[in-house]
Amino acid sequence: ILATDKRLKNNDKRLKGVKASCYKEGGMYKYTYGESTDYNAILRKKKEVAKKFGQAFVVAFIDGKKVNTNEAIRIYKEKKQK
């Protein structure tokens, strides 16, 4: 939902009251909202947070490592079919 070169406090006004998680990538602190192994649940979360962060998009992690979102969707669909 947000990226900055400095770590923000939980109550920073730039987070607009959203309880966000943070990870560091390439010298930037990147803030995310919501997590689930259910892609449909994540789409609902994205729609919810887009009211405050219109530029919000989905990122995917597998075992704590950021991965290509399309690859994560493929894996999700394969597991759902089993």
Res 39: pLDDT: 86
Give the tokens for residue 43. Answer: 């789409």
**DSSP letter string over the chain?**
-EEESSPPPTT-GGGTT---EEEEETTEEEEE----S-HHHHHHHHHHHTTT-TT----EEETTEEE-HHHHHHHHHHHHH-
Distances (CA, A) of 50 to 4, 23, 82: 18, 20, 32
Tens of pLDDT, residue by residue, the chain (82 residues): 999 999 999 999 999 999 999 999 999 999 999 998 888 899 999 999 999 999 999 999 988 889 999 988 888 888 877 6
Residue 28: per-residue pLDDT: 97
pTM, to two decimals: 0.82
